[in-house]
Amino acid sequence: MADKVLELSAIEDIFWNYTLKSLGLDPAAKASQKRIRIGYQPEGAPGWKRTDNVGFILVTPTGDPITQQTEISYTRADEETALRSASYTRVIQVTWTFYGPSSFDDADKVRNGLFVNPALFDPLKLVTSVSPPFRFPELFEGQWWERSSFTAQFNELVVRTSNVNYIQSAEVQVIPNR
C-alpha cells in the first residue's frame, strides 16, 4: 500500500482550479492563467495594471493541536512482515489575495463557494471558521490599489505506510534480584 498524502503542488492545483470555477472562469482559457496565480510575483512589484482583476493563492502547511496526534496500526502482510500505517491530520492554510476593482467581490465569491461546493477541493476538508474577506487598499508607487484577502484552513488525512519485520526470536534472561 502506498502513502496517501498530497504534494504541495497538487494542493496548489486543487485550489487554483477551485478558485477559477468559483469565479466562473474557464481553467483551460489562456486569460485565466494570469487572472489567478499561485504565490506572488518573483520581482515583488505588481506586474499588472491597477484596473486589472488579479488573484493570488498562497498554500502553507500550518501547526494546530490536531496535527500532534498520530494513530498507528499494524496489518499482517505475510509470514515475516506486517504493514505499519501511521495516520494523522495535516492542516493546510490557504490565503487568497485579490487586487483590482472587483477584489472584494471576487474574495467574497470564493469564500462563499467554500461552503457551497466542497467537492471542488476534495479530499481536503474545510475547517468552517472562515472569517469574511478583509478589504485593505495597498499603496504602491503613490497610487492606492484595491486589495482584499481572506484565509481558510483545511484538514487532510495523511497515511504513511511501511513494512516492518516480525521478531523471529529473542533471548530472554532472568537475573535474580540480589
Given pLDDT bands bounded at 50, 70 and 90, which one contains residue 47? Answer: confident
Of 144, 152, 147, 145, nearest to 134 by C-alpha is 147
Alpha-carbon torsion angle 110, 115, 120, 122, nearest 10: 130
Q: Establish if 131 belongs to a structural domain.
A: yes
Q: Establish if 178 belongs to a structural domain.
A: no
Q: Establish if 172 belongs to a structural domain.
A: no
Q: Establish if 171 belongs to a structural domain.
A: no
Q: Determine the Cα–Cα distance for residues 85 and 77; give it in Å rounded to an integer.
A: 12
Highest mean pLDDT among 75-79, 83-87, 172-176: 83-87
- Residue 4 is classified by DSSP as B
Q: CATH number of the domain that 152 lies in? A: 3.30.70
pLDDT tens for each residue of 125-138: 999 999 999 999 99
Q: Establish if 177 belongs to a structural domain.
A: no
Residue 20 has pLDDT above 80, yes or no: yes
**Mean pLDDT, residues 11-31 taken together:** 94
Given pLDDT bands bounded at 50, 70 and 90, which one contains residue 45? Answer: low
**Predicted local confidence at residue 2, as pLDDT:** 81
Question: Mind spelling out the 3-state secondary structure of 79-114?
Answer: CCEEEEEEEEEEEEEEEEEEECCCHHHHHHHHHHHH
Of 131, 139, 91, nearest to 114 by C-alpha is 131
The reported pTM is 0.85
